[in-house]
Amino acid sequence: MKTLLVGYTASDLFERGKRDVTVKWLTEDVTCHTLDIYHRHAIEKMHHAKAICSPHLPEGPWDVIKFRTGPKLMSGELALSLLQEIAQLLGGDLKAPRFQLDYVGKERDRNDFLDKIKDDPTRVRDFAATWQASVPGGPKLTFTSYPGCFCHRRQDDGGLALAEVVSMELAVTAPVREDTDGTVRLLDMGCGCGLVGLLIASRLQTCSSTYNLNLTLVDSHTRAVEAAVKNAADQGVDAEVILSDNGTPARMDGTFDVFVGNPPYYSDYRIADVFLETAKRALKPGGVCYTVCKNAAGLEPVQKRYFPEVEIIKRRGYAVLKSVKRDGCD
């Protein structure tokens, strides 16, 4: 029995005795699909289990597909896009035992959810969205986003504030050191669909006599990477896009001039910490780190663990935290 699990995390799978999945996991040919490489690593770490991380569900054939979802677990649009892919893989047969919906929520919402594709399960709806964003002095850019990728259907104001501050500083005050060959290496960690890095790149293209930008975009979510690759190509930007949840130590090697990050702030700044640790490792001495958050009070002490001095720049109701990596900092 080849079984595909969709929407499960490591803690769903291995809370022994609580979920039937735990037992089946160990006895059957089960593959777990994840959209985020962090979840894949967590599953593999706990049981050396089979996990596939990709923006779309893997081709079967699958005898059984189990799907864990609900309003608190993922957005309605992401749930629907995954349900549609499951329906495609099962040839439209969404009946038990081939399809099992592990719905976390009210029975009525579960039925409404299934009703959405009941009449035509194999119809392919396009959930991609396009929208525009720009920074002062830069062109209006069109971005594509997908359900699950941050942000979907709209720009994030925190990301926009970060892009505005950094593009203004790089275009006007040139804070990076003058002993470079004119090429600025910029790392956008947690790039989502590429909003921040690509807006900065577009702004600097309008003053290209000053800088030649070399852009690296990193995210742990496969749909973010998928969107960032498309957006960079559509905008004619030659960016390197990396799928990673750990700051790819081998690549973040003290050669970057600028780091930008709009980290997620759940889990008590644990992820912001990963971002800042990466920033310190990635930047060369004199390189500049910019992060953004709603309220600087929470992030500032975390940033100070890596960079002793932090300047706070207010923009759009957000705080951009700027630090310079000092010479000799290890």
Segment near ligand SAM (CB under 6 A); pick from 7-15, 102-110, 123-131, 148-156: 148-156
Binding test (CB under 6 A) with ligand SAM, winner from 21, 129, 271, 272: 271
Q: How far is the CB of 57 from ligand SAM (least distance, A)?
A: 19
Q: What 3-state class would DSSP assign to 212? A: strand
From the list 166, 138, 158, 164, the residue with the least C-alpha distance to 287 is: 166
Binding test (CB under 6 A) with ligand SAM, winner from 192, 269, 290, 318: 192
Does the protein bind ligand SAM through residue 35 (CB under 6 A)?
no
Segment near ligand SAM (CB under 6 A); pick from 5-13, 47-55, 214-222, 320-328: 214-222
CB 281 within 8 A of CB 256: no
Burial environment of residue 195 by CB neighbours within 10 A (0 to 12, 13 to 18, 19 or more): buried
Does the protein bind ligand SAM through residue 147 (CB under 6 A)?
no
The residue nearest ligand SAM at its CB is 159
Does the protein bind ligand SAM through residue 195 (CB under 6 A)?
yes
Distances (CA, A) of 190 to 67, 88, 193, 310: 27, 31, 9, 21
- Count other Cβ atoms within 10 Å, centred on residue 88: 16
Binding test (CB under 6 A) with ligand SAM, winner from 7, 121, 147, 159: 159
- CA-angle at 132, arms to 293 and 78, nearest 5°: 70
Binding test (CB under 6 A) with ligand SAM, winner from 12, 85, 102, 156: 156
Does the protein bind ligand SAM through residue 264 (CB under 6 A)?
yes
Binding test (CB under 6 A) with ligand SAM, winner from 69, 220, 231, 323: 220
Residues in Cβ contact with 189 at an 8 Å cutoff, skipping those fewer than 6 apart: 218, 219, 247, 259, 260, 261, 263, 275, 278, 279
Spell out a b/e string for 302-328, using b for 16 or more CB atoms within 10 Å of the CB, else e: bbeebbeebeebebeebbbbbbbbeee
Segment near ligand SAM (CB under 6 A); pick from 12-20, 26-34, 227-235, 263-271: 263-271
Q: In this structure, what token pair is assigned to residue 223?
A: 């749909």
Backbone angles phi, psi at 192, to 5 degrees: 55, -130
Torsion of CA 240, 191, 325, 254, to 10 degrees: -30
Helices (H), ranges, the chain: 10-14, 20-27, 37-47, 76-89, 107-118, 157-168, 195-205, 222-234, 270-282, 296-306
Does the protein bind ligand SAM through residue 232 (CB under 6 A)?
no
Q: Looking at beta carbons only, is 64 or 242 nearer to ligand SAM?
A: 242
Does the protein bind ligand SAM through residue 164 (CB under 6 A)?
no
Binding test (CB under 6 A) with ligand SAM, winner from 39, 66, 203, 221: 221
Does the protein bind ligand SAM through residue 191 (CB under 6 A)?
yes
Does the protein bind ligand SAM through residue 40 (CB under 6 A)?
no
Binding test (CB under 6 A) with ligand SAM, winner from 65, 196, 296, 321: 196
Does the protein bind ligand SAM through residue 218 (CB under 6 A)?
yes
Q: Looking at beta carbons only, is 182 or 264 nearer to ligand SAM?
A: 264
Place of tokens 């770490």: 45
Applying CB under 6 A, the residues found at the interface with ligand SAM are 38, 150-151, 156, 159, 189-192, 195-196, 218-221, 224, 245, 262-264, 271, 274
